[in-house]
């Protein structure tokens, strides 16, 4: 029953992502190891949208290491546990809570020894900036503990890069880049301190190949320069090369077309889904304290209230004009969403 529930939720989320994103492009998915325990290591810019994108892209049941702060409310904590999310505690969660990580890391090593797939965001938190920040050493403990406690485990490390055209925008575009899997044993010598450094250095380098990396030093100045050149942030290799080569040969985005038509359809979309829009604009959005969660809450309002409002309105149309008219309304409403988002 648990897996039926997870599969149903994943299917619903996949449909939601299709209607929410203008485009999601996946590169080199065939690199995902088959029938081997895998630790997926990914950059983290976009709140809960990041793990959701991974979930709808990879057709297997994943376990996620997630910051403990989102588990504070009992109902949400129960829901997140159903989604196979495991809380990870940081210093900001209180020194006393850090010892709770021991049991979480032990759970991860056991899952990997059983051939499962675990997802971790090794930067230790999310950040809107287009870069790969220094990695925390928590993931190295999972890797080394697994190899030490279960030496027969053929653990694979899979770097992943998520890139967004504009995280705060709706609709947005995203690309998912799969890196080459790395056998964990190839980076293991048994000298723990050195192995920690080796793992952090290698994974940082591999993730940086898959993610648009704007150097932290002089970040805003470099970002402004790239934006003035209208580079395509969905192409990390070429944008990174542009920065490295002193902004020569930028890869430009396609010039926006039919702007007025897009604005018209998006206005009609707001009118047709006025209740979800009002809830988002005047209730949910003002309460968001971290910009990294803007897309998360917008998506949540969309997939929860959007279908509810659509069905409620269709029932009103049935009462006023009959079933056929309501069916036409439903079809036209879905077409409107597709045109407004995909155009």
Give bridge partners of residue 157 from the DSSP assignment. 39, 182
Contact predicate 182/36, CB 8 Å: no
Average pLDDT, the chain: 91
Express each pLDDT in 254-278 by its tens digit: 666 778 899 999 999 999 999 999 9
Residue 39 has pLDDT above 70, yes or no: yes
Whole-number pLDDT of residue 258: 76
Tokens representing residue 60 in the block = 């297997």
94-120 burial: b if 16+ Cβ within 10 Å, else e: eeeeeeebeebbeebbebbbeebbbbb
**Which of 13-22, 235-244, 255-264 bottoms out in mean pLDDT, i.e. has the lowest?**
255-264
Contact predicate 30/98, CB 8 Å: no
Q: What is the mean pLDDT of residues 316-322?
A: 96
Of 112, 121, 119, nearest in space to 147 by CA: 112
**Three-class secondary structure of residue 162 per DSSP:** strand
Express each pLDDT in 110-126 by its tens digit: 999 999 999 999 998 88
Question: Is there a cis peptide before residue 171, judged by omega within 30 degrees of 0?
Answer: yes
Residue 163 has pLDDT above 80, yes or no: yes
Express each pLDDT in 48-61 by its tens digit: 999 999 999 998 88
**Three-class secondary structure of residue 231 per DSSP:** strand
Please tell me what DSSP assigns to residue 171: S
Whole-number pLDDT of residue 251: 62
**Three-class secondary structure of residue 135 per DSSP:** coil
**Which of 35-44, 75-84, 147-156, 179-188 bottoms out in mean pLDDT, i.e. has the lowest?**
75-84
Of 79, 277, 73, nearest in space to 64 by CA: 79
Q: Tokens 């079809």, residue?
A: 331
Q: Residue 188: pLDDT band by 50, 70, 90 thresholds?
A: very high
Q: Residue 82: pLDDT band by 50, 70, 90 thresholds?
A: confident
Which residues, in sequence order, are CB contacts of 171 under 8 Å at separation 6+?
A: 20, 21, 22, 340, 341, 342
**Which of 142-151, 215-224, 239-248 bottoms out in mean pLDDT, i.e. has the lowest?**
239-248
Phi, psi (rounded to 5 degrees) for 87: -75, 135
Whole-number pLDDT of residue 61: 87
Contact predicate 83/2, CB 8 Å: no
Q: How far is CA 66 from the centre of its chain?
A: 12
Q: Residue 3: pLDDT band by 50, 70, 90 thresholds?
A: confident
Express each pLDDT in 194-218 by its tens digit: 999 999 999 999 999 999 999 999 9
* Integer Cα distance of 299 and 137 in angstroms: 31
Tokens representing residue 88 in the block = 């990870």
Tokens representing residue 228 in the block = 């003035």
Contact predicate 19/338, CB 8 Å: yes
Q: Could you tell me whether strands 182-183 and 156-164 are parallel, antiparallel, or unpaired per DSSP bridges?
A: antiparallel
Residue 237 has pLDDT above 90, yes or no: yes
**Which of 9-13, 94-98, 180-184 bottoms out in mean pLDDT, i.e. has the lowest?**
94-98
Residue 42, CA distances (Å) to 30, 148, 312 in order: 17, 24, 39
Whole-number pLDDT of residue 255: 67
Count Cα neighbours of 25 within 13 Å in the Cβ-side half-sphere. Answer: 11
Q: Residue 249: pLDDT band by 50, 70, 90 thresholds?
A: low
Tokens representing residue 240 in the block = 């990174």
**Alpha helix stretches (DSSP H) within the chain:** 2-20, 49-57, 74-82, 100-113, 138-149, 192-210, 219-228, 236-244, 259-272, 274-279, 294-321, 323-342
* Integer Cα distance of 330 and 343 in angstroms: 20
Please tell me what DSSP assigns to residue 151: T
H or E element at residue 157? strand 156-164
Q: Residue 187: pLDDT band by 50, 70, 90 thresholds?
A: very high
- With pLDDT > 70 as the criterion, what percentage of the chain qualifies? 93
Residue 87 has pLDDT above 90, yes or no: no
Express each pLDDT in 25-37 by its tens digit: 999 999 999 999 9
């Amino acid at each position: 029953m648990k897996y039926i529930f997870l599969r149903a939720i994943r299917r619903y989320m996949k449909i939601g992502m299709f209607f929410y994103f203008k485009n999601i492009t996946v590169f080199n998915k065939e690199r995902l190891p088959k029938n081997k325990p895998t630790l997926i290591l990914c950059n983290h810019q976009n709140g809960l949208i990041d793990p959701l994108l991974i979930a709808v892209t990879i057709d297997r049941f994943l376990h996620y290491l997630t910051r403990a702060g989102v588990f504070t409310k009992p109902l949400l904590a129960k829901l997140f546990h159903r989604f196979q999310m495991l809380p990870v505690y940081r210093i900001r969660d209180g020194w006393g809570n850090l010892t709770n990580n021991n049991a979480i890391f032990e759970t991860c090593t056991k899952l990997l020894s059983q051939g499962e797939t675990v997802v971790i965001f090794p930067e230790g938190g999310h950040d809107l900036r287009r870069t790969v920040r220094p990695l925390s050493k928590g993931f190295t403990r999972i890797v080394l503990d697994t190899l030490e406690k279960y030496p027969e485990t053929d653990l694979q490390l899979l770097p992943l890069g998520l890139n967004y055209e504009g995280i705060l925008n709706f609709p947005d575009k995203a690309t998912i880049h799969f890196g080459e899997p790395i056998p964990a044993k190839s980076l293991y010598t048994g000298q723990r301190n050195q192995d920690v450094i080796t793992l952090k250095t290698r994974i940082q380098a591999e993730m940086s190949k898959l993610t648009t990396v704007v150097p932290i030093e002089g970040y805003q100045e470099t970002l402004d320069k790239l934006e003035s050149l209208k580079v395509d942030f969905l192409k990390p290799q070429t944008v990174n090369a542009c920065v490295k080569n002193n902004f020569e040969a930028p890869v430009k985005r396609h010039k926006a077309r039919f702007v007025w038509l897009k604005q018209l359809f998006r206005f009609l979309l707001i009118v047709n889904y006025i209740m979800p829009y009002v809830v988002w604009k005047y209730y949910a959005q003002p309460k968001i304290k971290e910009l990294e969660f803007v897309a998360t809450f917008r998506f949540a309002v969309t997939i929860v209230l959007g279908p509810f409002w659509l069905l409620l309105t269709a029932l009103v149309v049935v009462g006023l004009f009959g079933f056929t008219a309501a069916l036409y309304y439903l079809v036209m409403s879905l077409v409107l969403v597709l045109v407004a988002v995909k155009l």
